[in-house]
Amino acid sequence: MDPKPYNSDPMYGCNISLENESIFERFRCALIQPLKIAYAYGPFMRKLNDIRDQMNIKSVSGTVPKVSLALIDTFFGFELPQSLAPNVQEIGPVLSE
């Protein structure tokens, strides 16, 4: 799966597609916003890891474990077209009754 360089996460306060955005906007959404969020979550994660250490639970490191299967609940019709990895299975949308 090749990640698209113009995809963005709306959680960062950016448009979903950066295809028509300026170089500064792409830089802000690709580097500055994720670093700001990581900096904001830093104290919380340190406190959580301290609590885990007190309870003899392994602390969370910065590495993400490999996933053998990922189930994604989303509206794929509203997302930008892209190829998915072989371990990704679309299951959405799951709607409540």
- Could you report the per-residue pLDDT of 36-57, keeping only the tens digit for each? 888 998 899 889 889 989 999 8
57 within domain boundaries: yes
Task: For residue 70, report the phi and psi dihedrals to the nearest 5 degrees.
Answer: -120, 125
Q: What is the reported pLDDT for 93?
A: 65
29 within domain boundaries: yes
14 within domain boundaries: yes
Q: What is the reported pLDDT for 64?
A: 67
Q: CA dist 5 to 17, 42, 43, 95, Å?
A: 9, 26, 30, 31
2 within domain boundaries: no
Q: What is the reported pLDDT for 23?
A: 82
78 within domain boundaries: yes
Domain span including residue 53: 10-90
Alpha helices in 6-92 (DSSP H): 23-27, 33-54
93 preceded by a cis bond (ω within 30 of 0): yes
Indicate the number of domains in the chain.
1
19 residue type, one letter = E
All residue ranges of the chain with pLDDT < 50 are 1
48 within domain boundaries: yes
Residues contacting residue 27 through CB under 8 Å, at least 6 positions apart: none
